Amino acid sequence: MSFLKYFTLLMLLLLIAGCADTRIYSDDQYSDAEKMTIDFLSKNFQDADNPEIESVEDAEMGGIKVIGAISNAEFTLLIDTTEDGEMSIGALSSDEGFPEKKPECVDKVCK
């Protein structure tokens, strides 16, 4: 084979490898993150029992990012993960119109 054929084959293999699924966590962990998000929102915010989850994906800085909306107010919830698979709520960012916190959960996270 000539150099051009080897080079073309190598580029094709790199292209295929680059397009492969590069998700860090298992499907079960993404599912658990979605359930954790729904549970956290419903326990801590008023009228947040039915959030619409748009995506669950790897966060840029590690952990899992859950993107969704409640009453047309979008939110992003970051879930921290440990090496042994434990997950915890990391940070929540939300748009204007996001539900208010429940009174009993203003000074603490309700579980």
Distance separating alpha carbons of residues 74 and 42, to the nearest angstrom: 15
* Element holding 33 (H helix, E strand): helix 27-44
Band of pLDDT at residue 21, cut at 50, 70 and 90:
low
* The pair of three-digit structure tokens given for residue 8, joined into one six-digit string: 């073309």
Chain-wide mean pLDDT for the chain? 88
3-state secondary structure of 5: helix
pLDDT tens digits, 69-99 = 998 899 999 999 988 889 999 999 999 999 9
What does DSSP say about strands 52-58 and 73-81: parallel, antiparallel, or unpaired? Answer: unpaired
Q: What global pTM score does this model have?
A: 0.77
pLDDT higher than threshold 80 for residue 58 = yes
Q: In the chain, what are the domains? A: 25-105 (3.10.450)
Band of pLDDT at residue 4, cut at 50, 70 and 90:
confident
Percent of the chain with pLDDT over 90: 66
